[in-house]
Chains A and B, each alone.
Chain A
Amino acid sequence: MKMRKTTLGLATAIMAGTLMMGFEAAKAQDSIFVPLFTYRTGPFAGSGIPIADGMHDYLTMLNERDGGIGGVKIAIDECETGYDTKKGLECYDAVKPKNPVIINPWSTGITLPLIPKASVDKIPVLSMAYGLSASARGDIFPWVFNPPDTYWDGLGMILRYIGTQEGGLEKIKGKKIGYIYFDGGFGKEPIPLFEQLAKDFGFELKLYPVPPGEMQNQSSQWLAVRRDRPDYMVMYGWGAMNTTAVKEAAKVSYPMDKFISIWWPGEDDVRGTEGAKGFKTLNWHGIGTDYQALKDIQKFVVDKGLSKAPKDKVGELLYNRGVYNSLLIAEGIATAQKLTGKKVVDGADVRRGLESLNIDEARLKAIGLAGFTGTLQLSCNNHNGHRPSFVQQWDGAKWVKISDLIEPMPDKVKPALDAAAQDYAEKNAGWPKRTEACDKPS
């Protein structure tokens, strides 16, 4: 009887809380609200946790060290999505009334339904190096940004690197290149371009899809790789898929220095496997804490106990990836403040800020990240930047940069990008024409 009463009481309290939450209006703010969509649970948590920590810590560092951006504190709120589209949309609906200035979905699956909503709700979507590749076209997708590279640029760079390994792009003719990929949007997206490039350069392409539910069971794919013996393997994976792929590749004794992945695998994905030495990935920013901003993060955030990251994880690859994402957020907000003259900027302002993003060497030095990454300029029509990246290799203990900056293949990628963007606008009847004005480059 007593238990029933307490249960009833608890249920009523929860219902009351929900109704309060369901029926109350949005509150005003004197800070800039940046929600962080993270996944610290689920099969992608291995990749999601360091990214979440990096993103959270950089913004917290700005709050602690500088009192925010332009003197306005950043209100950070993490919402758990578990890389699930439905939960991502729940998070989006939950944060919308709080006037967020930017959304970072960190999942291509969540980004896709948010793309049409961005222009209606007036909240820019920053899908850094993921999401819909066609959203690089700022004239068709004014509210979506995906710097510094699209997945197609990444493919171009990997192929150029293979070309340098073989002594020239024309020498790839006749080779066999295998592609193991996450059998979802982000893995399937480069395939048409890959097939086109296979025709252009004369190599044979073999596909090895990994279903999302079977990420940790790739033995059949890698047995097929052992049977086919491709000269190079290219991987587009995320979360547990990367870890398992590296393990399986080592098990079938695939030569690791011929195994090149897109920019997602982190240290945790390769550390556990003995034979992972020689594995290569793309990257565009530095690793380690040898930068002023990273040192500030350690001083103002980690040492003060404001970070969820273990001390030794600060400065690792995916942590710094999160830092880069927050760097873009911070620079977008700062540019928006400069453009509009307002201190507390909103989503539309940050969109203009991102569109006029100009991170040059001087700016990088000023924010304490000199040498961390390359420069980035976005514009009205170019929401991506198509920046060059380098290739790094796992030497058993750390990532080592083994190549110079490699340019993407704009002559191959641009027509495909334009076609995809046009296709999207046509298929989605009623896709609004861009009405937002272009700011002159400052």
Chain B
Amino acid sequence: MFYRETGQFKTNYADDMALLPILQDRIGLGIILFVAYVIIPFFGNDFLLSTVMIPFLVFSLAAIGLNILTGFTGLISLGTGAFMGVGAYACYKLSSVFPDLNILLCIVFSGVFSALIGVLFGLPSLRIKGFYLAVATLAAQFFLQWCFVRIPWLYNYNVSGAIEVSQRSIFGVVVTGAKAAPESRYIVMLVLVTLMTWVAANVLSGRIGRAFMAVRDMDIAAELMGIDLLKTKLLAFAFSSFYAGVAGAAMMFIWVGGGEANDSFNINQSFLILFMVIIGGLGSLLGAFLGAAFISSLPTILKFGLPALGIPLAGATAEHLTYILVGGLILFFLVVEPHGLARLWQIGKQKLRMWPFPY
């Protein structure tokens, strides 16, 4: 009843091919954007913004990147953490070499470096597929992590080896460093994520996205149809690493604000993002967001929310309980719907179309 598109006629091809053809979808997206841009920064407290929303946005960006590679193109990659690290260190070098450059531009340009490195490590994908490619990207993960520690030029020969984030402002509002208000950082992150999601959504629903999906479904058939496998697979790696690089730069500069980056971009990070993509749903942008919320925000919410509800939990016990609960929920959701949370939402939409009838 709610999702019926009766009465919504399209009078030209452009309208027909739009990303969100149904009016209800557009209203829903409008409401989400309104809540994100207006309600949360105005009514949320610092903890919600800094510890729940900003990490969620950073990880959703990284998850979009990996979803493009694994969900849409079918190339399993275990190097996402390292590509995020490349973005972070590239942004650090850019911001130290060009101290007057707008920090948003630094972050976006650092994605380009990450894309180049991603293309380099994506070359094996032309010969190997599936789990073997996962091992090749694992090599990328370990090699790049080694580089972050052993190439002192990357961290400007710092004694502590840490990335130092100086204070930067955009239009007079401080957005990085200690003085940056959580609201400013949140809005910057949100704008970045909105723009990049819009770009990703459009690319993935166009010619390039369809080429990716053809490669995922059967790359030999795609090649026979005329899709250049070399270009498509490398473009997938470039695109995905770009998003991962921007996420890594944003993580270091807007979320954490500097510090030892080496441990933040280790193999656990790569696995974490892979889990976000799997639980959220492979091949779906919404899945990236849902997965990021589930894996990154849920433990924080449980760890601090359960005591806030009045359940008396000490630090370590809350930690253990969080692991148990999140693990249990992952099992539960994967049993109920192996295709991820995005598929659950799709089923929900179908039900909403027919509501109040069951079918």
Query: Which residues of A come within 8 Å of B, CB atoms?
Result: 7, 13-14, 16-18, 20-25, 38, 40-41, 77-80, 82, 84-86, 89-90, 93-94, 96-97, 108-110, 112-113, 116-121, 132-134, 183-185, 188-189, 192, 209, 211-213, 420, 423-424, 427-430
* Residues in A whose Cβ lies below 8 Å from that of B102: none
Interface: B177 (CB within 8 A): yes
20 A–B contacts, CB within 8 A, in A order? A16-B309, A21-B304, A22-B48, A23-B43, A24-B45, A41-B316, A79-B315, A80-B316, A80-B319, A86-B55, A90-B51, A94-B47, A97-B45, A120-B178, A184-B263, A192-B159, A212-B262, A213-B266, A420-B159, A428-B165
Interface: B300 (CB within 8 A): yes
Q: Which residue of A lies closest to B40 (CB)?
A: A22
What 1/0 mask marks residues of chain B from 30 to 51 whose CB sits below 8 Å from any chain A CB? 0000000000000111111011
A interface secondary structure, majority: helix
What 1/0 mask marks residues of chain B from 147 to 177 whose CB sits below 8 Å from any chain A CB? 0010000001011111011110000000001
Q: Measured between alpha carbons, how far is A441 from B301 in the docked complex, in Å?
A: 46
Which residues between 233 and 264 of chain B lie within 8 Å of chain A, taking CB atoms? 256-260, 262-264
Q: Measured between alpha carbons, how far is A195 from B266 in the docked complex, in Å?
A: 29
Distance in angstroms from B297 CB to nearest chain A CB is 9
B177 and A116 contacting across the interface, CB-CB below 8 Å: yes
B167 and A427 contacting across the interface, CB-CB below 8 Å: no
Interface: B320 (CB within 8 A): yes
* Residues in A whose Cβ lies below 8 Å from that of B55: 86
B46 and A428 contacting across the interface, CB-CB below 8 Å: no
Q: Measured between alpha carbons, how far is A424 from B99 in the docked complex, in Å?
A: 16
Q: Measured between alpha carbons, how far is A108 from B160 in the docked complex, in Å?
A: 9
Partner of A78, one of B149, B300, B306, B314: B314
* Residues in B whose Cβ lies below 8 Å from that of A21: 47-48, 304-305, 308
Distance in angstroms from B265 CB to nearest chain A CB is 11
* Residues in A whose Cβ lies below 8 Å from that of B48: 21-23
Chain B, interface size: which category?
Answer: 35 or more
Q: Which residue of A lies closest to B166 (CB)?
A: A429
Q: Measured between alpha carbons, how far is A84 from B263 in the docked complex, in Å?
A: 8
Distance in angstroms from B189 CB to nearest chain A CB is 15
Q: Measured between alpha carbons, how far is A260 from B306 in the docked complex, in Å?
A: 45
Interface: B116 (CB within 8 A): no
Interface: B139 (CB within 8 A): no
Which residues between 84 and 100 of chain B lie within 8 Å of chain A, taking CB atoms? 96, 99
Q: Measured between alpha carbons, how far is A120 from B43 in the docked complex, in Å?
A: 22
Distance in angstroms from B235 CB to nearest chain A CB is 32
* Residues in A whose Cβ lies below 8 Å from that of B158: 427
Q: Measured between alpha carbons, how far is A183 from B260 in the docked complex, in Å?
A: 11
Distance in angstroms from A155 CB to nearest chain B CB is 13
* Residues in A whose Cβ lies below 8 Å from that of B178: 116-121
Q: Which residue of A lies closest to B262 (CB)?
A: A184
Partner of B44, one of A23, A108, A112, A429: A23
B160 and A22 contacting across the interface, CB-CB below 8 Å: no
* Residues in B whose Cβ lies below 8 Å from that of A132: 160
Which residues between 307 and 359 of chain B lie within 8 Å of chain A, taking CB atoms? 308-309, 314-316, 318-320, 332
B257 and A117 contacting across the interface, CB-CB below 8 Å: yes
Partner of B256, one of A89, A133, A209: A89
Partner of B304, one of A13, A94, A117: A94
